Amino acid sequence: MDPEALRKYSALHPKPAGLTLQYGTAGFRTKAEQLDHIVFRMGLLAILRSKAVTATIGIMVTASHNPEEDNGVKLVDPLGEMLHPSWEEYATQLANAEEQELQKVITEICQKAAVNLHKDASVFIGRDTRPSSKKLSQSVIDGIQVLGGQYHDYGLVTTPQLHYMVCCQNTQGQYGKATLEGYYEKLSKAFMELIKQSHCSGEGQRHLKIDCANGIGALKLSEMKPYFPQEVLIHIYNDGTKEKLNHLCGADFVKVHQKPPGGLDMKPNERCCSFDGDADRIVYYYKDTAGHFHLIDGDKIATLISIFLKELLAKVKQNFKMAVVQTAYANGNSTRYLQETLKVPVHCVKTGVKHLHHKAQEFDVGVYFEANGHGTVLFSKAAETKIRQLVKEEKDDEKREAAKMLENMIDLINQTVGDAVSDMLVIEAILALKGLTVQQWDALYTDLPNRLLKVQVADRRVIDTTDAERRALTPPGLQEKIDALVKKYKLSRAFVRPSGTEDVVRIYAEADTQENADALAHEVSLAVFHLAGGKGAPPQP
């Protein structure tokens, strides 16, 4: 490490006085103008991580569904997973170090994580379409070059595409080719093979309107269009040419406001979907003939995929263990449907993709989705090997056909992370293969009415939870109060959890009617306000 070069470059990316940021599930996120020193230092950290694990590391410059003026940065580990939790701490230390301490902090990280600075290092870089992203990715490159690492800049890509590239590179091409063409070819080939196995023509079914949140998804879908078969007609809206990123559109807007995005004209019973700003989340929706809006969120996506996979697994007659992983935010009726009707085990974990991903790895087939539309399916190495073997060797036609479908599903799904493009193709293939309309899919179960609220508090750390965030341990008396309130309503439940990023407590409530869900959420928010140090005026109904 050249201390002089480090000092010189660090001075070009100065840290604003008094600014401290925390590396969370989404990496660092804040106003774009406060990020320059952070991305420079993450360039440094990516090189250290790469040397520590002797593999290529990814760096993505994006703030996903946040407003256009924000930006962020996150690191991608060797198999396309999120950065290891122990390194999240190093990221926070390095980001918040004063300039004169930078070298000392780097040396400490090298000692703690046994980093050999003489090893080679390489980093893949990607960015979204925000006006600030290009300049920030240039600062990442400065950080990489100070520590003498190799890099490949993919430029504009979706977040899941960068995760995919990193995984391809580190599996020596076993997962696929680490190029955009490789990604488009792998997904489109698997999709076409699946559609070929569909016996119903359902021609009118294949029209799909897609709201791309005025983000990177629009660019990449347009590039992928030539790879799609004739019968798939995708219509791209909110493509970023006119409006601002995520403004009144995108998966997050649709899910939170329970209404269609601007810039997309919906006719009754048309299938529509929305990506978020960096294309790692997707939700579907439609309007019925009476003009009512119906949202199909991550819970219902997980249910559709589970039905399809469970049928195929039954046909191949292997003892594969399958499960669905959810968070406490999953709608109670989705959990009931999966457990009681489908008879699929459901596991609940703490909020945050890394917790879902980790749990899903315990099964041969692990389906995980957050209600917000971020999710994927993981197949164990053993299950994948067995399925590919059955395709080659199985004599029984029905078994071999089912194994072939599973093999195509394995290739179509981006197993590294939730991927709106890949998930959309999975859903479209399943609807075509099962001859389902969007209304029939929606009718699998009815969501329980629910309400999300938040209460500002002086310090979010006063709330401590257990049982996958479904019960509050502190402050004393809060959980007993919630239990008493829940008893007042039918089919009800409620939980509270501290935000990961701000001094806010998030409240979720569901009940048999919207009126009751709203009332329960309000009463719980009052309890939080009084028992957990609420700020300002008490919540109003």
> Annotated active-site positions, please?
64
Q: Does 499 belong to an annotated binding site? A: yes
- Which region holds residue 209: left if phi is over 0, alpha if psi is between -120 and 50, else beta? beta
* Residue 146 to residue 94: CA distance in whole angstroms: 15
Q: Does 64 belong to an annotated binding site? A: yes
Q: Does 36 belong to an annotated binding site? A: no
* Residue 394 to residue 117: CA distance in whole angstroms: 50
Q: Does 506 belong to an annotated binding site? A: yes
Q: Does 401 belong to an annotated binding site? A: no
Does residue 456 contact residue 503 with C-beta atoms inside 8 Å? yes
Percent helix, strand and coil across the chain, each to the nearest 5:
45, 20, 35
**What's the gap between Cα 218 and its chain centre?**
18
Apex 390 CA angle, 388 and 394, nearest 5: 150
Does residue 147 contact residue 47 with C-beta atoms inside 8 Å? yes
- Residues 6+ positions from 443 with CB-CB distance below 8 Å: none
* Residue 417 to residue 160: CA distance in whole angstroms: 6
Q: Where are the beta strands (DSSP E) in 103-206?
A: 122-127, 150-156
* Residue 113 to residue 52: CA distance in whole angstroms: 7
Does residue 438 contact residue 431 with C-beta atoms inside 8 Å? yes
Q: What sign does the dihedral 487-488-489-493 (CA atoms) show?
A: negative
With residue 234 as reference, give the H or E element that holds it: strand 233-237
* Residue 270 to residue 284: CA distance in whole angstroms: 10
Q: Does 297 belong to an annotated binding site? A: no
Q: Does 370 belong to an annotated binding site? A: yes
Give the burial class of 4: count Cβ atoms within 10 A of its Cβ; 0-12 exposed, 13-18 middle, 19 or more buried: exposed
Q: What sign does the dihedral 322-300-284-493 (CA atoms) show?
A: negative
Provide the β-strand partners of residue 368: 325, 376
Dig out the tokens for 258 from the structure.
């329970």
- Residues 6+ positions from 28 with CB-CB distance below 8 Å: 21, 22, 35, 38, 42, 72, 73, 74, 91, 95
The CA distances from residue 222 to 7, 215, 417, 497, in Å, are: 43, 12, 21, 40
Q: Does 533 belong to an annotated binding site? A: no
* Residue 510 to residue 489: CA distance in whole angstroms: 9
CA torsion angle 140 141 147 149 (round to 10): 120
Does residue 253 contact residue 281 with C-beta atoms inside 8 Å? no
Q: Does 280 belong to an annotated binding site? A: yes
Q: Which residues are annotated as a binding site for substrate?
A: 370-372, 497-501, 506
Q: Which residues are annotated as a binding site?
A: 64, 276, 278, 280, 370-372, 497-501, 506
Q: Which residues are annotated as a binding site for Mg(2+)?
A: 64, 276, 278, 280
